[in-house]
Structure 1
Amino acid sequence: MKENQDIKNSPIIVKLPILISLTLAGGILVGATFFGGHNKMAGVTKGFNKYREVLSLVETSYVDSVNTDTLVDYSIKKMLEKLDPHTSYFSADEAALAKAPLEAGFDGIGIEFNVFNDTVYIVSALPNGPSSSAGIKSGDKIIKVNGASLTGPKVTNAFIYSKLRGQRGSEVKLDILPYGEKTLKTFNVTRDRIPSYSVSAGYMIDNQTGYIKIDRFSETTYDEFKNTLSDLKNANMKRLVLDLRGNPGGYKDRAEKIVDELLGGEKLIVYTDGKGTQYDSQTFTKRDGIFEKGALTLIVDEGSASAAEIVAGALQDNDRALIVGRRSFGKGLVQMPVNLSDGSELRLTISRYYTPSGRSIQKPYTLGKEDEYEKDYDQRSKSGEFYSADSIKFNEKLKYRTVGGRTVYGGGGITPDVFIPRDTTMFTKYLYELLGKNIIREYALDYANDNRKALEKMTFKDFNKLFVITDAMLSDMQKLARRSDVKLRENDFNRSKPYIKTQIKAYIARNIWQNKGKNGLNNEYFQVMAQMDETLQKSLTYIDKAEKMARGELVETISHNSRKQ
C-alpha cells in the first residue's frame, strides 16, 4: 500500500465493545478469546455479573410478569447506541429480514404485487414461476391466502410476505379474482426458489454508450454485472455510464470484483484499518477485466453508501472514472456479522474503509449521538449542498492526491468530480400523493391489460418513439385518483404533468415488455424514464471529460474550482 507521505489522515480509534448476550437460564459471554486477553476481560466480567444480578432480580422479584427476552434485546440495543452509528443488534426475525435483500433469492410464489386501496394486485407473474405456471396473470387480485383475508387496512408488505413466502415445496391456496372477472377462482400454488436481482438495468443509450444500474451489492451482483457488461461490450460499447445512485452497499467483495473488471493493472482498490492488525486488509486488482479501457462515468448521490463508495473511491483515486452527481452518504465503517446462539445477530464495527489515496469514507460522528448523525441529510439540504456546487466546502487539512495527481478531499463520502444538482421542480404534493397511493402504477397496469393485444403488436423501440400519453388518459388517471381520495391540485398537476406522463408510459412499457428472458433487467422502464432523469442527461454531456480521463489526461473537477475553507 502506497500512501501520500505529505498528506494523510490520522485514523480515529474506536474501542470495540464486548457483547454480553443473556438467556433465561443464565449468561453466555461471547468473545473472550476472540477480542482480547485476560486483562481486558476483567472489566467485562464485572459488568456481566452486575447485569446478570439485576436481570435475575427482575425475573424473580419484580411485581409484574416480564418478558426477559424483550428486556435483553432492549438493553443490548441501548448499550450499542453508545457506540458508532452502524454497530447494531438484530433479533432473530430482524436478522432474517435484514439478510433477505442480499441473498440470491427466496422461497415464494413468484409474483410482483402492488397494494392499491387496501387490495393486493398482481403486477407481474415471473415467467415459468409457480404463479405463472398455475395460470395467474397481471391485474389479478389476491383476495385470500390459505383462508386468511388479504384485503383491508391491515394489509402491509410485511403481512403479505408472511403469507406468500414459505418453505420451498410447500403449497399455498390462493383465492384470486381474475382481471376483468367477477367470480373468485382458487389456485393451489407450490412455492419454489425465486431469484432476486440487483442489476436493474443494462442497455445501450446510443451506438457507443452503455448504461448499467446496480441497486445493491448482493450475492449475485458480480455475476449479473459481468454478464450485462459482456453483453454491452459485444454490442460495441465504447463508453459506459455506471449508476450507483441510491445503492446502500452490501457485500464488499462483490464491489471489489466489479472494480477489477473496470480497472487494469495491479492497483489498490481499498484498505481497512482497525484496532491492532487483526482486521487490517488491502485489496488489489488481479485479473484482466472486461472494460479496463474506454470512457467510464460513475453516478453517485447522497443515497450511495458503503460498498458503493468503495467502487466510487477506487475508480476516482485511480483516475479511472469521472464521478458525477452529489456527495455520497459517507458510510465507511466495516461491520462484522456475529451470529448468536438464539439466531439473533450482532453487526460489530471492527475497522474503517479507506480509499487508495488514504481518504476515510466515513463521515464525522459523535459517539452516542445517533440523532445528530441521522440529521446529516437535512443539514445537507439546508446548507444548499444538494442544489449548488458553491455550497460544497472542502477541508484543506484533508487533502489527498489521486494516482494522476488530481486533488481530492476527505471528510466523509465521495465528492464527485462534476456536481449535478437535484431537480425537484416537478415533485409536488399532488405527485407525492399519487405515488404514495400507487395511483400512477395502478392506472398504467389497467391500461396495459386493457390494451395488451394492440401494444404487443408494437416493438418497444416504436412504442418508446411514437406512443403518446393523451389528455384523455390523464383525465382517466385523475378519476382513479379521486376515487382514492386524492384531490386534484391544478397548479401541482401542471408542474408535475411531464413527470406523470413519462411515468405512466414507463410503467406501461414495463408491464408489456419486462421479463422476456432478460434476467431481471427492467430496461424498458429505465429507458422511458431516462428522458426525465436530469442527472443522467447532464452526465452524458460530460462524456468528453470521461474520455480525456480514459486517455490519461488530467481533467478539471470541482475540487479545483470550488471555494475552500
Structure 2
Amino acid sequence: MENHSDKNIRNSTSMIRLPMLLAATLAGGILIGATFFGGRTRYSGDLVRNLNKFREVLTWIDNAYVDSVNTDTLVDYSLEKMMTHLDPHSVYIPKKEVAAAKAQLESGFDGIGVEFNIFNDTVFVINAIPGGPAATAGMRSGDRLIRADGTPLTGKKVDNQLIFSKLRGPGGSAVKLDIQRRGEKNLLNFNVTRGRIPSYSVSASYLIDGNTGYIKIDRFAESTYNEFRSQLASLKKQGMSRLVLDLRGNGGGFKDRATDIVDELMGGNKLIVKTDGKGTQFDDETYARKEGLFEKGAVVLLIDENSASASEIVAGALQDHDRALLVGRRTFGKGLVQTPVDLSDGSQIRITVSRYYTPSGRCIQKPYTIYDSDDRYKDGELFVADSIKFDKKQAFKTDNGRAVYGGGGIIPDIFVSVDTSYRTKYLYQLAARNVIAEYAFRYALDNRAKLSEQTFKDYLQKFTVSDAMINEVAAMAAASGIKRNEADLSRSKRYMQDQIKALVASYIWEKRSSTAGLRNELYQVLNANDPLYKKALVYFPQADQMAAKQ
C-alpha cells in the first residue's frame, strides 16, 4: 500500500490459479517514507555485542575456513533465515531481486509489449500490444519466439523467468528476436527497441444490467485509484446506481490506493484504518476526507480466502461502517505492516513495524501458526460457514450494531462455499501444459473472421463450446503426453467450456490498448456461471437497505 509516504508492498509468494493464467498474490505491508527512524540511531548493548559476534564469525570463516567461501552468499543466507524467524511477512530481498519486487506494483515496466503462452516447450505470442514496440516492429499474434539475442527460447528449460529476462530491459535498449511465423519457410528477424509498457490493475468494469455496475481490482498498484475513479465515473454516466466491487484474489498493494477507494464510496469524516506499532513513530489513522463519487448507492463486495492486506482494509472499513454487504469467504488475515529498508549494497529488507486495525477496532491478523493454505480446506471452512473459526471474545460492533469479530481475517456477511467439483488430476495436467489456453488461442486465430462477424453480445448469448471442441482439446493434450481420462474429463467439462469460451472472447474482442487494460469480455463470460457472483446479485435488496441508512 502507498500513501505517498506509506506503501503496502507485496512480499509473499504468488499463487497460481487453475487453469486461467490470472495471477493473484498474498501481499504485505506499508512503506513508511525515506526517513526511517529519523535522527541518530541508538544501539543497545545487546545489539552491539551481537553485531561484534556476527563480524567475528564471518571474519574467521573468511580467513581460516579450509575451503574458499563466498561471504556474500553466506550473509544473504543468514539474513534470509533471520527475517523468517520474525514473522511470515518480514523478508530479506537480495540485490538482484529488488527491481523485480518493486516492479510488481508499479504502473508499468520496460519491455517489448507482448503477451505470451508457453506450450510444448515453445513460446507463442498471444498478443502484440497495439502501439507497443513489438507490434510496431511487425510482430503479430501466433508468432513463435525462437531466439532472443541468440539465446534459445525453446526446449524444456524455457520458463517465464527466462523469457522475462530476455524481453524486459531498460527503455531504449534493443533485443534481436528470431521468429517463426505460420506460412513462412524461414525465420523472421526483428530488432525491437524496448519501451514503457503500461500495467493495469482494474481488470474489468462493465454494466451487468441497466443500473448494476461491476468493477474488479486485481491489486492496489500505483495507478489503481486513478483507474478505479475513472471507471466509476464512466459507469455512473452509463446509469449505474449500485455496484459490485470484486476483490477476490486481490493480495493487496499500496495503502493509500485502498483508503482512497474507500473514500470514494463512503461519506462523512469516518475512520478507514488505524495502524499501531512500537512507540508512536509508526502509528497512523486514516479518515475519509473528500466527497466521493459513489457515497449513496448500494455496494456488494466480493471477497475470498486470497483477499489480503489492502483488500482487507477496504473490506473492514466498508463492513464496520455498514457501507457494503460482503459476500464470499473469510479473507486471508494479513494485518501486519511492513516498511522496506534499502541496504547499502542495493539489497533490501521489509520488516514488520505495526499492525493495522479496522474502524471498529478489529486486528484481523491471523496467528502466525496458521499459514498453510490447506488448513481452511481441511477444516471445512471453505465449504461450510459454521466451520469458520473465530474468537468470540474478540467481538466488535459495526455502526448499526451488527456483531463482527477480530483475530483472523474479515468474515463475510453472506457465505458462499468454494466449488471444487470440477477439479481433477486431468485438469491440473492440462493447466500445467497450458493446453486449454493454447487451444483457445488457436481456435480464435483460425476462426477470427467468422467470429468477428457477430457482436460480443451475440457470442455471449449463443456461442457454445461443443463436445467436438472438447475432444480436440483432449487430442491436443494427448499429443503433448497427457493421457485422456474419461471420468475426469466429464467432471471438468463445464469448467473447460467456460474457460475456452472466455479466452476465445478475450482474443477476439478485447482491445486492451484502448480500454485501459480492461478484460470485460473475459470476465463477462466467466461471471455468467460463477456461483459466488450470481449469489451476490441475489442479495442486492439487503445491500439496498444498508445503503438507505447511510
Q: If the length of structure 1 is used for normalisation, what is the TM-score? A: 0.89
| 1:135 CA drift (Å) | 1.6
1:282 to 269, 281, 285: 285
| 1:36 CA drift (Å) | 8.3
| 1:477 CA drift (Å) | 1.5
1:246 to 229, 246, 249: 249
Moved more, 242-251 or 181-190: 181-190
Structure 1 residue matching 2:285: 3-state secondary structure = strand
1:196 to 199, 210, 225: 199
Moved more, 509-518 or 206-215: 509-518
Match of 2:390 in 1: 394
Structure 2 residue matching 1:94: 3-state secondary structure = helix
- Aligned residue type for 2:276: D
Matches within 5 A, 1:452-531: 452-515=448-511, 517-531=514-528
Structure 2 residue matching 1:240: 3-state secondary structure = strand
Match of 2:264 in 1: 261
Structure 1 residue matching 2:273: 3-state secondary structure = strand
Counterpart check, 1:100 vs 2:100: no
Match of 2:224 in 1: 221
| 1:179 CA drift (Å) | 3.2
Structure 2 residue matching 1:357: 3-state secondary structure = coil
Matches within 5 A, 1:539-550: 539-550=536-547
> Paired residues, what number?
516
CA RMSD, aligned part only?
1.6
Match of 1:234 in 2: 237
Moved more, 175-184 or 411-420: 175-184
Match of 1:344 in 2: 347
Counterpart check, 1:537 vs 2:534: yes
- Aligned residue type for 2:302: I
Structure 2 residue matching 1:449: 3-state secondary structure = helix
Moved more, 273-282 or 460-469: 460-469
Counterpart check, 1:374 vs 2:371: yes
Q: 1:35 to 1:78 in 2, by over 3 A?
A: farther
Structure 2 residue matching 1:83: 3-state secondary structure = coil
Counterpart check, 1:64 vs 2:67: yes
| 1:154 CA drift (Å) | 1.1
Greater gyration radius: 1
Does the 8 Å contact 2:252/2:311 carry over to 1?
yes
- Aligned residue type for 1:350: V
Match of 2:137 in 1: 134
Match of 2:314 in 1: 311
Moved more, 93-102 or 325-334: 93-102
1:468-498 C-alpha deviation (Å, 9 max, x unpaired)? 2122222221111111111111111111111
Structure 2 residue matching 1:143: 3-state secondary structure = strand
| 1:60 CA drift (Å) | 0.8
Q: Where does the alignment leave 5 or more consecutive residues of structure 2 unmatched?
A: 1-33
Counterpart check, 1:211 vs 2:207: no
1:301 to 299, 304, 320: 304
Q: Where does the alignment leave 5 or more consecutive residues of structure 1 unmatched?
A: 1-29, 366-371, 554-565
Q: 1:231 to 1:31 in 2, by over 3 A?
A: closer
Structure 2 residue matching 1:107: 3-state secondary structure = strand
In the alignment, the residues of structure 2 paired with residue 361 and residue 224 of structure 1 have an alpha-carbon distance, to the nearest angstrom, of 28
Structure 1 residue matching 2:393: 3-state secondary structure = helix
1:398-446 C-alpha deviation (Å, 9 max, x unpaired)? 0000111111011111011111100111121111211221111101111
Match of 1:7 in 2: none
Does the 8 Å contact 2:390/2:408 carry over to 1?
no
- Aligned residue type for 1:238: S
In the alignment, the residues of structure 1 paired with residue 461 and residue 399 of structure 2 have an alpha-carbon distance, to the nearest angstrom, of 43
In the alignment, the residues of structure 2 paired with residue 452 and residue 379 of structure 1 have an alpha-carbon distance, to the nearest angstrom, of 45
- Aligned residue type for 2:269: E
Identity of aligned residues (%): 57
Structure 1 residue matching 2:96: 3-state secondary structure = helix
Does the 8 Å contact 1:32/1:41 carry over to 2?
no
In the alignment, the residues of structure 2 paired with residue 88 and residue 385 of structure 1 have an alpha-carbon distance, to the nearest angstrom, of 29
- Aligned residue type for 1:512: I
